[in-house]
Amino acid sequence: MADQIKIMILSGVREQGKDMFAVQVNDEIFVLDAGLKYPDSSLFGIDVVIPDLDFFEQYGDRVAGIFLTHGHADSIGALPYILRKYDIPVFGSQLTIELAKIDVKRENKKLKNSLFHVIDAHTEIDFKNASISFFHTTHSIADSLGIVVHTPAGEVVYTGDFKFDPSAAPNYRTDMDRLAEIETKHVLALLSDSSNAEAWFPSASEQDLEKYVTDVFRNAKGRIIVAAKASNLNRVQEVLNAAAATGRRVLLTGRDFAKIVRTAMKLGYLDVPDGLLMRVKDLKTTPDDKTVILETGRMGDPLNSLQKMANKRHSMIRIHKGDLVFIATTPSHAVETMVAETSDMVYRAGGTVIQLGRDKHTSGHATGRDLQLLIDILKPDFLFPVIGEYRLMEIHKNLAIKTGMKKEDVFISKNGDCYNYDFKKKRFYLTDPVPGEDTMIDGSGVGDVGNIVLRDREILSDDGIFLAVVTIDRKKEKIVARPQVTSRGFVYIKANHKLMHDSIEVIEKAINNNFEHKKFDWTELKQDVRNDLEKFLYKQTNLRPVVLPVVMEVNQNRHRAMQKLKENKTDNNTQGENGTPNKRKNSRSSQNHKAVKPRKWKIVKKNSKPTKETKDN
């Protein structure tokens, strides 16, 4: 059988976050990252967004493993929802795997440790059709790795989030020698980070940033409230160092954040001097000028927590006069408005704000020059700009063309695109798409909220709801009681008596017309009421509230209803074949669990003899 190579763009292009890509070699699929993104203001009430899980439904039996580049949510955030239903082996560095376990355990208490495998930059994993190796990269979290899929046509390289910083600490430094080694083996395709492609000037080094953070702490007179991302361990270490250098103690807020810090300390990725950390009860006895509050917020969003502090709605902390709020993260363009609103609230509460991103150009992602340097080093045949919004991908493409790549060798993809490699023509071409839609997480529901629900939520936020209740006698084909109407978020009822009165007449007319001209049908009757009300209300107010007609019925055969209820109870208590009652499954995670077909693989350490053990995972 002829070799087959496919590159699947499952998620993470034309957007920020939710990174997930895949490389298929013959009948094995290697998934690269499995992240989430936090919703913008258009996704009403949605907690997080993850890639389309239908991919695993369709291709799960071919998935050999999920390979992680680093421990941020945009790389590991979808794992809890994938592993809830599919038993797929997961590979990552020690810190990445530990952070992934924290994420998975939060959503699924039954953590299967056997699915997680720790690798490092010197690991090579042999599968039936391909092998996987790794290389060190620089990012804002330690032990970040790039991934190389060795295929019959050459190397497919995925960078994950990366940048170049020669002054980075050893745990954060890119292995340039390894990149040069990969180039000698012929790079077929490069999937490269585009998040910071429009930045041309180099980011400030982490050494400069640590000095800057310490200076901010020295100049502060009162409490310092630091807003940072929990998984940005580089920034967390800088905050801890600055607190120690200025004689302050640090309060960590958030249970998950404390777990991340403890895990990083245990593995040696964070250095925390004895006595530096304090508990909530110590706030009362610690002077303001000796206090640092490190706030990461729920699900990695510190801005919402800052707003609660400023509005006196936070469970523990309230911003007061003399506080300095230090936003130690560079916000994306999508939340700049929220940053401005948050800053305004802080000033109203008596505090002041310093934003690291305004004083220093910093990012955990490659600048335009970094991207060109990577292309010069690896010399890929084809480039797939990934991880970034559309304009950033286009900028990345133009940067690649300036390095000498041909325009037709750079692919601007969209989620769901699948590229097949033609060995004869030596080119990639688009083939049948793969699942690439968003899966929205709302509370404990996975994918329960779709576009229709979101549209209704948007209408509710704009124009409110209009409720109409009417009781009918179907046999006599008449309205038993005058319809009752009410609204919320639509109009002020006391000032719109005529509108309410006229809407009742619209309801009565719609029901009587249905009785006279149509064969009775519950769905059609409600739809008639809804349509007529929507037209009437829009004509009168130019608003389109969500109209909910509630039609009730009287004078029905009570005995028949009671008999039906009795039959339902009997069905619910029907015994199974073994003589015991059938039990309904209450746990969402226990339903439809699928064990993916195990694949044979073995880990090979470079510069050492291959292990003899073959693992069936």
Confidence of residue 261 (pLDDT cuts 50, 70, 90): confident
Measured CA to CA, the distance from residue 224 to residue 46 in angstroms comes to 31
Whether domain 5-201+363-446 has CATH 3.40.50.300: the reply is no
Measured CA to CA, the distance from residue 280 to residue 265 in angstroms comes to 20
**Residue indicated by tokens 């190389």:** 148
Percent of the chain at pLDDT > 70 equals: 84
Burial of 552 (0-12, 13-18, 19+ CB in 10 A): exposed
Measured CA to CA, the distance from residue 379 to residue 131 in angstroms comes to 21
Confidence of residue 244 (pLDDT cuts 50, 70, 90): very high
Residue 496 has a pLDDT of 84
Mean of all residue pLDDT scores within the chain: 85
Closest of 291, 242, 298 to residue 271, by C-alpha: 242
Lowest average pLDDT, out of 210-214, 302-306, 563-567, 607-611, goes to 607-611
DSSP string across 309-345 = HHTT--SS----TT-EEEE-S---GGGHHHHHHHHHH
Residue 334 has a pLDDT of 59
Asked whether residue 11 is marked as a ligand-binding residue, the answer is no
For the cut 60, the answer to whether the pLDDT of residue 466 exceeds it is yes
For the cut 70, the answer to whether the pLDDT of residue 564 exceeds it is no
Closest of 363, 413, 382, 383 to residue 12, by C-alpha: 413
Read off the DSSP letter of residue 235. Answer: H
**Comparison of pLDDT for 555 and 230, the residue scoring more:** 230
The mean pLDDT value for 505-512 works out to 90
The mean pLDDT value for 176-188 works out to 96
Residue 562 has a pLDDT of 52
For the cut 70, the answer to whether the pLDDT of residue 406 exceeds it is yes
Measured CA to CA, the distance from residue 296 to residue 216 in angstroms comes to 19
**Residue indicated by tokens 């084809």:** 382
Residue 590 has a pLDDT of 41
Q: What angle do CA 508, 514, 516 make, to 5 degrees?
A: 100
For the cut 90, the answer to whether the pLDDT of residue 152 exceeds it is yes
Give the residue extent of every domain in the chain: 5-201+363-446, 206-359, 464-556
* Winning range, highest mean pLDDT, from 23-37, 195-209, 489-503, 525-539: 23-37
**Comparison of pLDDT for 168 and 297, the residue scoring more:** 168
Whether domain 464-556 has CATH 3.10.20.580: the reply is yes
Asked whether residue 363 is marked as a ligand-binding residue, the answer is yes
Asked whether residue 361 is marked as a ligand-binding residue, the answer is yes
Asked whether residue 167 is marked as a ligand-binding residue, the answer is no
Which tens digit of pLDDT belongs to each residue from 519-542?
A: 778 788 888 898 999 999 988 888
Per-residue burial over 596-606, b = 16 or more CB atoms within 10 Å of its CB, e = otherwise? beebebebbee
The mean pLDDT value for 165-179 works out to 88
Residue 256 has a pLDDT of 73
Which tens digit of pLDDT belongs to each residue from 336-395?
A: 788 889 999 999 999 999 998 888 888 889 999 999 999 999 999 999 999 999 999 999
Asked whether residue 72 is marked as a ligand-binding residue, the answer is no
Which tens digit of pLDDT belongs to each residue from 93-127?
A: 999 999 999 889 877 777 788 999 999 999 999 99
Measured CA to CA, the distance from residue 94 to residue 184 in angstroms comes to 28
CATH number of this structure's domain 206-359: 3.40.50.10710
